[in-house]
A and B are shown apart, each in its own frame.
Chain A
Amino acid sequence: MKPLDCFHCGEPVLTDTQFTTCINDKEQPMCCPGCQAVSKAIIDAGLTNYYKFRTEPGSKQTALVPEELCTFSAFDLAEVQEDFVHQDSDTSTVSLSIDGITCAACAWLIEHKLKHVTGIVKIQVNSTTERALVTWLPEQIKLSAILNQISAIGYQAAPYQVDEQELLSKQNSRKFLLRLGLAGFATMQVMMFALALYAGYFTDLEVEFRDYFRWVSLIFAAPVVFYSAQPFYFSAIRSMFSGRLNMDVSVSIAILGAYIASCIATINGNGEVYFESVSMFTFFLLLGRYFEQNARQKASVSSSNLHKLVALTAHLITDNGAKETPAKGLKVGDIILVKPGEVVAADGHIVDGTSSLNEAMLTGEQMPVCKTISCDVYAGTINIEQPIRVEVTAVGQEQLVAEIIRLQESASNNKPRVALYVDSISNYFTWTILVVAALTYVVWKIYWPEDAFWVTLSVLVATCPCALALATPTAVTCATGIFTRIGVIARTPGVFEKLTQIRHVVFDKTGTLTCGNLKIESTKMIAGTDEAQVLAIAACLEASSLHPIARAFEPYRDPKLSVEKSQNHIGQGLSGEILGQVYRIGSATFVGVTDITDNTEQAIFLANESQVLAQFSLVDTIRSDAGDTVKQLKKIGCLVSIASGDTSNHVEEVANKIGIEDVNKGLSPEGKLQLVRRYQTQSNVAMFGDGINDAPVLAGANLSIAMGSGAAVTKSSADLILLGDKLSRYTDAVNVAKLTEKIIKQNLFWALGYNLFIIPLAVTGHVLPYVAALGMSASSLIVVGNSLRLLKVRL
């Protein structure tokens, strides 16, 4: 029988018809209790339409989140809220970043679920940025209740702080849209009158009407010149102050010059007007800039969503028990309680309790580290098994996380900046144009003074570096579009040229070459029992644990078995009673194995009271496309190395399997940075990483790539983010970048060629200003069309 697919998330159902939900009078299969609960909540809220209109399946509701992680009560504290909640006289507003939005139907679902909740004034969900803006009445409903409502239908919401850069780019992009729209409207009108004027040359338009059309054109062109074109003037002024000329200088001169001259001609009633050239010119230039701006905004939005607030609160131990306090209010010497599943709020050392902590956020290693009294713990790490009491030793900027971020910042300041092609060209180009225009004016003024102005103007318009200005941005925008389609986010400008210059690729191991989660590689039966049953027993024992090892056993769970008297032995293993038998699972010493034959690090054993039953070998699975990617990289002439913080033999094993010879292990964050610096003396280096410990080395490499599942800090320092965690995306990105480079070169070649061709004609007075404007527009259209070819690339 063909396995059923979960109606909610689309994944195969392995539990038969154990979980179902009645949707539109039909029992639909569900893969897990999570999906069942979520779909029930959706149906109960009368939102069946979600299933009718969604275009993507929902996200899988993996094993119900432990209760500790599910409480949002921390967000209700006034001190915590003041960071991200905007207070009005009687309402509060918060921006939430929401995980799990797959299509527009999700946005509809969330809006309608929350719209009728008492106390919520307004909710607006944006499916592109995966965010929601919620306004509510604090007296009637708490923020935590709102978050709970959202999580009931299967989305994880968390408040986030918008970083300044994103806010700025959003404002900019909106302003650009206004300028662009205005220029578009006005250009249409001015072109209309321009057509009438041109037609008038042949049909003897009466002077009275000609002047009328000119005045109307003047009025329509004014907002374009004074509002839409502003960014060019500011950029021109800035560049002149800094002693370099960019293209905006000649653009500004052409726009203002042509407009002023046309105004004079209109007022005096003789000469030529160029309002249509001015408007069209501005519109095309803005269009190119707007596309570029938009792509940049998209990139900054997706990285800002990662800045979720973690460890907002801590349980401070006071004389009258534990009290929830904001993490930023902690002082050195305070004792805090960290419950299982919670994030440690500050650096400190354990004063009571033993537990294992997941430090993946700092080290990239998924295996928890066992810690007991007087061991150091760090802010941002997650407590897994038992409650511990921690004495705070460092807060705020003194913490290890802050230290690593500082290291990363100082590395990124030293980053070699490769200037964009056009920047270097435009300086000379603008100088040339200005000198040529000035010479033209002087020469014509001496010999034919009455034609001097319009000839100079046609030189400026015809040679307008519009095509040149569009050459790079349009190609980059199209390439960014493809990147988004294949799941690659370019975060910094200049990524495209850097990608083509990389000759050495360095990988971190855990989370980059490997998936960062454990899988059972082999099961060795010691006593002759049934393998499936042994796995089921092991899975049942592990079911109560949050340890990553336990997750490896999850697929083998049998819902019929249940465990009693389950006990957690920190750093060793678990014990419990199943069907009247006592079982122990864990390390060799814990279950009493003496003769260890297989020396793999990740071997765990299952035993009953009398004997050892089985040995499970666990491995961190290598990404399925790692081998192919390495082969591809070697084919395009890249050196490939591993730089890992891990000291175990697993590093060599992984390297062998995927064919990497150069292995460096046991490196600290500084060590990795030094290694990359050494490689950099020979060639440009790209670094792949995912943990926060990789942040400094990522900042130091010529090009840094973070995996989509990695730590937020890593992603905010990386140039490229690979979503979907496919390494092969990198080689695709290199191919796109190579093509982009080729197209940029073609564009620049064309734009320069056109300008060199038109300059002599314009200087000698053979190009009328309107012909110049047409030629200029045609050359930009050709450049844009050439760039659009990029969108047709199939990977």
Chain B
Amino acid sequence: MDERFSGFGAFILYTITAGMMLFILTPLLLVMAASVSDSYFVTFPPQGFTLKWYAKVLQDRDFLEAMRLSILLALGTTVGSLLFGVPAAFALVRGHFVGLAAIKGFLLSPLIFPALITGLALLQVLNKLGSTDARLNLLIGHIVVTSPYVIRTVVTSLQLVDENLEDAARTLGASRLRTFWRVTLPQIASGVAAGGLFAFMVSFDNYPVTMWLANSEYSPVPLVLMRQLVNVFDPSVPAMSTIIILMAMVGVLILEKLVGLRRALAA
């Protein structure tokens, strides 16, 4: 690729782009800096260096409990949304039936529906059903939100599968199941893994659905963090936030390795 900007236009483009990069990174970097600064209140410029806030976070029973809940919930959500999403993606790519487009639209509709309202509507119905186990309710809500993401990544990778390879395997006597397991699945493995990882991260960070379905006993990480922000003053919040930022970065790097970021997120 050659640079095809020149003169004043290029100057404007690069200045705005650099400004936006700074805009995107500043708040995150400031949180990180605050997490190792010595002062009790966050001040600018940050003072001193200490790891005591991390020590405090790692002894914080509430935070660790929330971490455990969030990780288990995200794992359950990942499994659930793969179980629903992968077969559905197969139906959408390989099926030839009436109303395919409508069904695809229906399966992807939670993506455009405001998540806040998805959670509220679900809460009302679960209340009526008398379902009071917050963990189960959260799992259901999270699967509703994450399964469309799985469908999207798996559909994309299924469309790139060479069906001739499957025909070859079948011709050579492999059973249908064996063909799927040994020929089809390896070709879509990275897409499935990316979908699963994406489901995990969406679940782990989800606030708008979680806020309706959690309760005081079972509160995932985003809710606990929000409570610390709004209701009480807690000097270890920057350290908690930094731990979450670093976890996210690891997730991003794995996604990038699996399928490339833009493909994973491209609408």
- Chains A and B are bound partners: no
- Using a CB–CB cutoff of 8 Å, the interface residues on chain A facing chain B are none
